[in-house]
Amino acid sequence: MNVERAKQIYNAKETISVKLDGDPVWIEKVDADNGVATVQVGNNPVNTRTVSVFQLQEEES
Return d(Cα 10, Cα 21) in angstroms, integer: 19
pLDDT in tens, 2-29: 999 999 999 999 999 999 999 999 999 9
Contact 37, 31 (CB under 8 A): yes
60: confidence class by pLDDT, cuts 50, 70, 90 = confident
Q: How many domains does the chain have?
A: 1
Q: Which domain holds residue 18?
A: 3-58
Predicted local confidence at residue 43, as pLDDT: 87
What is the rounded distance in angstroms from the CA atom of residue 55 to the CA atom of residue 36? 9
Query: Hey, what amino acid is at 9?
Result: I
Distance from the Cα of residue 24 to its chain's centroid: 9
**CB-based burial, 44-54: b 16+ in 10 Å, e otherwise:** eeeeeeebebe
CATH code of residue 26: 2.30.30
pLDDT of residue 34: 98
Local confidence band at 61 (pLDDT 50, 70, 90 cut-offs): low
